[in-house]
Amino acid sequence: MIPSSELLFHIRARYPELCKASDELNDTARSYIIPGHQGSFGFISSMSDHFCGSCNRLRLTADGQIKVCLFDAKEISLRDEIRRGADDDALLTTIGRAVLGKKEKHAGMEDIDVVTNRPMILIGG
């Protein structure tokens, strides 16, 4: 893994006019522009520049599971709650429980190669 700070160092060496683009509060990408060039580029540096504390994303998988983080193998089933006849309040409680379980930064990243987690292609969306 190469931290985004190292990549930025090399890009800035070639393009010293590199500027930080404005980001929204909960953006996961850190965006940059190079004046005089079209477009922008960004880094989603979830392993080297933790943004988990400000990430407001939830994912609902194709099979009804809530994932609060793509790196976290933990999932909470909304499908099972709905099949049991849960009302809106019960579903909100389940969603709230998922959100409260969200970590401030990725825990256990040193074991990422041995943790069983669904790849994004199997999450759906």
Model pLDDT for residues 77-117, shown as the tens digit of each residue: 999 999 999 999 999 999 999 988 887 766 555 565 655 77
By DSSP bridging, strand 65-67 and strand 59-60 are: antiparallel
pTM of the predicted structure, to 2 decimals = 0.63
| pLDDT on residue 103 | 76
| pLDDT on residue 58 | 87
d(CA 93, CA 1): 38
d(CA 102, CA 71): 11
| Higher-confidence position of 77 and 50 | 77
Q: Sorting pLDDT into bands at 50, 70 and 90, what band is 42? A: very high
31 CB-contact burial (10 Å; exposed 0-12 / middle 13-18 / buried 19+): middle
d(CA 45, CA 42): 9
| pLDDT on residue 102 | 82
